[in-house]
Amino acid sequence: MTRRITVGAAQLGAIQKSDSRKVAVERMLALMAEGHRRGVELIVFPELALTTFFPRHYAERIEEMDHWFETAMPSNETAPLFEAARRYRMGFHLGYAELTTEADETGTVRPRRFNTAILVNPDGRIILKYRKVHLPGHAEFDPNRRVQHLEKRYFEVGNLGFPVVRSPMGRVEGGINMGLLICNDRRWPEAWRVLGLQSVELVMLGYNTPSINQDAKGWEAHHLRVFHSHLSVQAGCYQNATWGVAVAKAGVEDGAELFGHSIIVNPQGEIVAMADSWEDQLVTYDCDLEMCRLGRTTIFNFAAHRRPEHYQRIVSQVGAVEPPMV
């Protein structure tokens, strides 16, 4: 029984503020058609793939931004992606802004906004949904920034945890353990480990990462931006013995540069495919899921080697504290 799947990292070039969802979806459909020709069984699109990265724009009232959000999935505009999935027998991952009316922790039913990703199977059925947990940036307009990063203003912290689904995909009829992260999540080992503890074999994540860190104040050289992104994904894959597909939006969007460099990473932490443009670009790889076995039966055999009794701070503490002076 084969345990191989051909995945596609479908990087998107810039989507401008003036571009409609129809334009974005047509570009994604072209990448799916190319993927079909190249034998792709599962295609991964970026975070907030249907629109520009709108958290760079400020609105006094959050509701003014609601036109960037999806209230249904599929919607009229996104239905062609689901049809293409069925036509090509191809799963897909999609990031989008989700506006829903549901109860919060207090039981109050109200509009709620999340930075969301879904995994759709080749029947066009949503089999996994994840809402971004680690929201970077700030909630108020920052006059010191040339470009705003207002994810904390427009989105709530995700409330679905880090779920993993086991489902047939491509040639793997017996099922693949698949999990999702979104952008900034990739920098947090805790997020990867929660997926690892569910025996994840394939992690998909989309990102929109500016080439310049405006908070760096000179401490983060330009080239380190891509290095840190790759370092995080490669470490996450290695330490949890999983494949990873990390897919960017790239190029100059609304005058702000996003760094691209989408990658596919094997369970040894090696980059096996990488985008080399700032355009719409599909990079593919035939992933052998049996490669996950080595890590999880040896150095990262969690059952044999983890010591959770010593990890208490990870869940009981948020900020770092100073050690006692000796």
The catalytic residue among 70, 98, 132, 287 is 132
Of the candidates 191, 113, 185, 116, the one whose C-alpha atom is nearest the C-alpha of residue 156 is: 113
- Kindly list the distances between the CA atom of residue 94 and the CA atoms of 79, 116, 171, 187, 317, in Å, as whole numbers in the listed order: 12, 8, 21, 20, 33
Name the site residues for ligand CDT (rule: CB under 6 A). 47, 136-137, 149, 183-184, 187, 207-210
Is 287 catalytic? The answer is no
The catalytic residue among 47, 70, 151, 253 is 47
163: preceding bond cis by omega (within 30 degrees)? no
Nearer to ligand CDT, 250 or 292 (CB): 250
Two structure tokens written together for 36: 């079909």
Helix (H) or strand (E) holding 314: helix 312-316
Shortest distance in whole angstroms from residue 25 CB to ligand CDT: 21
Nearer to ligand CDT, 149 or 193 (CB): 149
Non-local (6+) Cβ contacts of 153 within 8 A are 55, 62, 137, 138, 139, 140
Shortest distance in whole angstroms from residue 23 CB to ligand CDT: 21
Cα–Cα distance for residue pair 106/57, rounded to 1 Å: 30
Nearer to ligand CDT, 43 or 248 (CB): 248
Nearer to ligand CDT, 170 or 206 (CB): 206
Nearer to ligand CDT, 54 or 92 (CB): 54
**CA dihedral of 65, 209, 23, 123, whole degrees rounded to 10:** -100
Shortest distance in whole angstroms from residue 209 CB to ligand CDT: 4
CB 6 within 8 A of CB 170: yes
The catalytic residue among 70, 98, 183, 249 is 183
CB 98 within 8 A of CB 154: no
Is 17 catalytic? The answer is no
Nearer to ligand CDT, 163 or 210 (CB): 210
Residue-wise burial string across 234-243, b where 16 or more C-beta atoms lie within 10 A, e elsewhere: bbbbbbbbbb
Residues paired with 258 in a beta bridge: 210, 251
Shortest distance in whole angstroms from residue 210 CB to ligand CDT: 6
Shortest distance in whole angstroms from residue 208 CB to ligand CDT: 4
Is 132 catalytic? The answer is yes
The sign of the torsion formed by the CA atoms of 107, 112, 117, 119 equals positive
Shortest distance in whole angstroms from residue 299 CB to ligand CDT: 28
Question: Angle at the Cα of 281 (from 82 to 259), degrees rounded to 5?
Answer: 110
Residues forming the active site: 47, 132, 183
